[in-house]
Amino acid sequence: MMSAVLQTATRATISAMKMAAPAKPKAAPRKPKPAPRAAPAPLPRKIAPPRNAAFRAGTHSCDLGKRRFKIYVPAMAAGTPLPLLVMLHGCGQTADDFAKGTRMNALAEEFQMLVLYPEQAREAHSNRCWNWFRRGDQGRGDGEPGLLADLTRAIIEKHPVDPARVYVAGLSAGASAALVLGNAYPDLFAAVGAHSGLPVGAARDSTSAMMAMGQGSPGNRPSAAIPTIIFHGSDDKVVNPRNGRFIAIRALEPFRGLRNTQTRGQVPGGRHYIKTAYRKGQGRPVVEEWVIDGSGHAWSGGSRAGRFVDPAGPDASRAMVRFFLRHKLSLRARSPRHLDP
């Protein structure tokens, strides 16, 4: 069970992640005909999945534990092996909430892929945070990384999945857990996406986790080269934005001879951002770092149908999917290792 310190911090995290409602404009004094108020923004439209698509719930059990999950299977999934994306939610979220906020199921139809949403159990953490900071949950074959890897393999066996195109991404604690998972299983995951997370090895217990979240931590050198895309808001008050920079630095370490290009942009009517892409020559990017100006601890470009989103930012979901699908594991990279559990 988490210490009282980390539980308090988690509650603060969830509180900080909630979007503040805009203040109502005040009527101008002494004016007989005040200007009419702007019409309220429409609620997000519920988009029904295509016929023959499925969003199913399930439970996975193994020697390392048991977790519930949901999986989205697109309408045209029969036959051809498809990519699989594992999405790890943040603290205070559920699989359904994360799916709504990221709109990843709609992209699954557009890009033809399966999306798996493992769900943290309250028995493992009272606020449904993935335990990325604990020593027993940071290595291959141990704790939550081992359980999530086993779940991923079970989905690959049961569904039409291309084992060369399996990816993992997450938000906050989920982002930190995704980085741990990619680092521990480079023979399973072809690329990693981290939104508002911390680097692998940034903490070893609840106390060091609090320090890393507040001040930033460089973490540890990666054990393998894995393509990584990073999103972080410049005004994140929950996880210091320095952690996004540290994730990028660590992701770049195993690669040599990269050049970088920087792009500045703005979402129409929304936030400015800086994207830095690192690649070999004219090839595909192996690391992308997105910094969203003025954004806090929330999924960039997300839908208000879910929690902890910033609709004014660039579309992190679409950017991640496009980045992921440019990477795949070779047969040699997927070969079992002697230390594989």
pLDDT at 36: 40
pLDDT at 79 over 80: no
pLDDT at 261: 96
d(CA 272, CA 302): 16
d(CA 139, CA 183): 9
Helix 104-111 and helix 95-102: axis angle, to 10°?
Answer: 60
Q: State which of 32-36, 195-199, 277-281 shows the largest mean pLDDT.
A: 195-199
Categorize the per-residue pLDDT at 186 as very low, low, confident or very high, splitting at 50, 70 and 90: very high
pLDDT at 76: 75
pLDDT at 311 over 60: yes
Q: What is the pLDDT of residues 20-59, one digit of tens each?
A: 333 444 444 454 444 444 334 444 445 556 767 799 999 9
d(CA 208, CA 260): 32
What percent of the chain shows pLDDT beyond 90?
78
User: Can you give the pTM of this predicted structure?
Assistant: 0.85
Question: Which tokens go with 178?
Answer: 């995704």
pLDDT at 332: 87
pLDDT at 66 over 80: yes
Question: Which tokens go with 63?
Answer: 């020697």
Helix 206-215 and helix 4-17: axis angle, to 10°?
Answer: 30
Backbone angles phi, psi at 4, to 5 degrees: -60, -30
Measured from the Cβ of residue 288, the count of other Cβ atoms closer than 10 Å reads 23
Rounded to the nearest angstrom, the gap between the alpha carbon of residue 114 and the centroid of all alpha carbons in its chain is 16
Helix 206-215 and helix 242-252: axis angle, to 10°?
Answer: 100
With contact defined as beta carbons under 8 Å apart, do 281 and 253 qualify?
Answer: no
Average the pLDDT over 56-80 and give the result.
91
Q: What is the pLDDT of residues 5-22, one digit of tens each?
A: 345 444 544 444 443 333
Q: What is the pLDDT of residues 244-276, one digit of tens each?
A: 999 999 999 999 999 999 999 999 999 999 999
With contact defined as beta carbons under 8 Å apart, do 116 and 104 qualify?
Answer: no
Average the pLDDT over 83-98 and give the result.
97
Question: Which tokens go with 330?
Answer: 């070779």
pLDDT at 272: 98
d(CA 58, CA 70): 6
d(CA 103, CA 323): 17
With contact defined as beta carbons under 8 Å apart, do 175 and 239 qualify?
Answer: no
Question: Which tokens go with 36?
Answer: 């009419």
Average pLDDT for the chain: 88
pLDDT at 94: 97
Q: How far apart are the first and last CA of the chain?
A: 25
Average the pLDDT over 86-97 and give the result.
97
